[in-house]
Amino acid sequence: MKNKYVDLIEQTFEFPNDEFTVVNNELQWYGVPLMEVIKQYGTPLRIAYLPKIEMNIQRVRRMFNVAMAKVDYAADYNYCYCTKSSHFSFVMETVLKNEVNLECSSAFDMNLLEALYQSGRLKKDAFILCNGFKRPQYVENIQSFIDQGFINTIPILDNKFELDALLQGFDKKFQIGIRIATEEEPKFDFYTSRLGVRYSDVVPYYKEVIKKNKQVKLKMLHFFINTGIQDTLYYWNELSKAVALYCDLRQECPDLDCLDIGGGFPIQSHLDFVYDYEYMAEEIVAQIKNICQQRGVPEPRIFTEFGSYTVGESGAMLYSIVNQKQQNDRELWNMIDSSFMTTLPDTWAIDQRYPFLSINNWDQEYERVHLGGLTCDSQDYYNAEVHSNAIFLPKMEIGREQYVGFFHCGAYQEALSGFGGVQHCLLPAPKLVIIDRDENNEWYTKLFAKEQSYKSMMKILGY
Ligand SMILES: Cc1ncc(COP(=O)(O)O)c(C=O)c1O
């Protein structure tokens, strides 16, 4: 009978694959034997595999460029990284090595970019798209960037008051964008996004205010669909509305030549995830071109701001099972050595699922379990995958260590739960280790942050 963990995974998924393999009953991730990493650093452990960031950037660039070539698109594609998905220096340095542009969202983002410029990583002509609500410090930092000669710094107006703030006490000429407030998906709690300027206000606002101002040029129209780029009627409808508005605006404003379609390329949240990225890129490009052609408007330069897609698949969280509790005849609880709420907050907040696999003991029989976190919060658990309302792991045995891994969690988790701050039940932030490859393509690890100390938490708390 095939009742080993390895049989279960091989029968359920296309396994092994390019990303995951098993050697001597232990999991390898992109050819990195994870047990070796665990032996060196212990758990809980957050790891970041940097080559995956580069792979994804290059893949998307290639897809959009091919899509454009196929329809003879007469403008270019520009990849921006949405910094809020992970601000870690190792992420920013990796994306900048790949010559991407940046999209940022608040005042401190600019301080971070300043540091990257000082260290020679950020070029002065990179596009810096400043989204988000512009509070005074953010406005000041944007002005300072424009002043210093970051010629492609483009504040994207989130509302009609921001331009006045940007112009106040500032006499340099600069380019701006406008964010459209998109309609939310029908099942959402409200109709229109709170972010951006309403559709019907965009052209009148341009004619009444921007057009009359010699200091600013409207360069970009921006929109972002909260639910991501999906092959749904809703998405295509929103895209065509945005392109139609671009054409209306372009007919009034010859400076306008950029359309930013935001982020939202999905990532693999389970091992059988299927998404036709090439088709979506081709369809987006073709639709933009068609609508512009029909309206007699030159097609725009296309910008994207992929956050999750850039960095999500490069991250993993590894835990060990510290104990097993049997709470009734059917429910087995495997307790991890950290907390889902503090290390993978999306599992709790939006029921996010991740590819989840055992790291060792693949030759053992499997059992159905619930995974429990160490906080005393009843919500601190994980017990379902996308394809199944249950999770399975090799059977626990006294004296046998068991490790588990959650993959593709490189985006947003630290930004949401904080890294090294005060955490639920004072559980410390885990160690963070970077995995990269050298010039001979050999993998190596580097400790980025030690496990948080009680001293650092006490200091924050005022002790
Ligand atoms: C304006 C904007 N652009 C891009 C993104 C990135 O989205 P994603 O991580 O889904 O690619 C976000 C995410 O919230 C956003 O608000």
Q: What is the pLDDT of residues 245-303, one digit of tens each?
A: 999 999 999 999 999 999 999 999 999 899 999 999 999 999 999 999 999 999 999 99
**Dist. CA 323–CA 319, nearest whole Å:** 12
DSSP 66-79: HHHHHTT-SS-EEE
State both tokens at 210. Answer: 């921007």
pLDDT for 389 equals 82
CA 305 to centroid of ligand 1, rounded, Å: 6
Residue nearest to atom 13 of ligand 1 (CA): 263
CA 80 to centroid of ligand 1, rounded, Å: 11
Give 32-46 pLDDT, tens digit per residue. Answer: 999 999 999 999 999
Mean of pLDDT over the chain = 96
pLDDT for 390 equals 86
- Is residue 344 domain-shared with residue 456, that is, in the same domain? yes
**Dist. CA 461–CA 382, nearest whole Å:** 29
Arithmetic mean of pLDDT, 57-76: 98
Q: How many structural domains does the chain have?
A: 2
Give 117-133 pLDDT, tens digit per residue. Answer: 999 999 999 999 999 99
CA 401 to centroid of ligand 1, rounded, Å: 39
Residue 94, domain member (yes or no): yes
Arithmetic mean of pLDDT, 93-116: 97
Going by pLDDT thresholds of 50, 70 and 90, the confidence category of residue 184 is: confident
- Is residue 168 domain-shared with residue 38, that is, in the same domain? no
- Any idea what DSSP says for residue 24? T
Arithmetic mean of pLDDT, 447-455: 97
**Dist. CA 283–CA 64, nearest whole Å:** 10
Residue 55, domain member (yes or no): no
CA 310 and chain centroid, separation: 6
Residue nearest to atom 4 of ligand 1 (CA): 263
State both tokens at 224. Answer: 């972002």
- Is residue 221 domain-shared with residue 258, that is, in the same domain? yes
Question: What's the half-sphere exposure (Cβ side, CA atoms, 13 Å) at 215?
Answer: 12
Inter-helix orientation angle 107-118/89-97, to 10°: 60
Confidence check: pLDDT of 111 > 80: yes
- Is residue 87 domain-shared with residue 235, that is, in the same domain? yes
- 334 burial class (0-12, 13-18, 19+ CB within 10 angstroms)? buried
pLDDT for 259 equals 98
Going by pLDDT thresholds of 50, 70 and 90, the confidence category of residue 1 is: low
List Cα–Cα distances, 313 to 114, 161, 216, 241, 246, in angstroms: 27, 38, 39, 31, 33
Residue with tokens 């070029």: 123
Choose the residue to mutate in 60, 79, 80, 82 for probing ligand 1, maximizing ligand atoms within 8 Å of C-beta.
82
Give 386-419 pLDDT, tens digit per residue. Answer: 888 889 999 999 999 999 999 999 999 999 999 9
CA 249 to centroid of ligand 1, rounded, Å: 24
Closest atom of ligand 1 relative to the 179 alpha carbon: 1
CA 59 to centroid of ligand 1, rounded, Å: 18
pLDDT for 455 equals 96
Give 292-327 pLDDT, tens digit per residue. Answer: 999 999 999 999 999 999 999 999 999 999 999 999
Going by pLDDT thresholds of 50, 70 and 90, the confidence category of residue 187 is: confident
Choose the residue to mutate in 79, 224, 309 for probing ligand 1, maximizing ligand atoms within 8 Å of C-beta.
224
List Cα–Cα distances, 142 to 151, 162, 213, 391, 446, in angstroms: 11, 12, 19, 48, 34
CB atoms < 10 A from the CB of 394, how many?
25
Quickly list H helices, 32-135.
Answer: 34-41, 51-70, 89-97, 107-118
**Dist. CA 388–CA 137, nearest whole Å:** 47
Domain boundary among 256, 282, 306: 306
Going by pLDDT thresholds of 50, 70 and 90, the confidence category of residue 2 is: confident
CB-based contact 319:340 (threshold 8 Å):
no
CB-based contact 85:290 (threshold 8 Å):
no
- Is residue 13 domain-shared with residue 161, that is, in the same domain? no
pLDDT for 186 equals 78
CB-based contact 304:64 (threshold 8 Å):
yes
Choose the residue to mutate in 305, 313, 314, 352 for probing ligand 1, maximizing ligand atoms within 8 Å of C-beta.
305
Closest atom of ligand 1 relative to the 308 alpha carbon: 9
- Is residue 81 domain-shared with residue 189, that is, in the same domain? yes
Closest to 64 (Cα-Cα) out of 284, 305, 298: 284
List Cα–Cα distances, 402 to 295, 321, 358, 394, in angstroms: 61, 6, 8, 8
Going by pLDDT thresholds of 50, 70 and 90, the confidence category of residue 332 is: very high
Arithmetic mean of pLDDT, 184-204: 88
What domain range is 120 assigned to? 73-306
- Is residue 146 domain-shared with residue 283, that is, in the same domain? yes
What CATH code is carried by the domain that includes residue 221? Answer: 3.20.20.10
Closest to 286 (Cα-Cα) out of 295, 299, 274, 277: 299
Give 86-103 pLDDT, tens digit per residue. Answer: 999 999 999 999 999 999
Residue nearest to atom 16 of ligand 1 (CA): 224
- Is residue 285 domain-shared with residue 237, that is, in the same domain? yes
Domain boundary among 306, 340, 364: 306
Residues of the chain above pLDDT 90, percent: 93
Closest to 85 (Cα-Cα) out of 115, 64, 122, 57: 57
- 164 burial class (0-12, 13-18, 19+ CB within 10 angstroms)? exposed
- DSSP-derived pairing of the beta strands 26-29 and 403-407: unpaired
Arithmetic mean of pLDDT, 187-192: 82
Q: Ligand 1 pocket: which residues have CB below 6 Å?
A: 82, 85, 103, 131, 224, 228, 262-265, 305-309, 411
- Is residue 300 domain-shared with residue 319, that is, in the same domain? no
pLDDT for 188 equals 81
Closest to 48 (Cα-Cα) out of 444, 312, 359, 435: 435
- Is residue 333 domain-shared with residue 452, that is, in the same domain? yes
- DSSP-derived pairing of the beta strands 128-130 and 101-104: parallel
Arithmetic mean of pLDDT, 194-221: 95
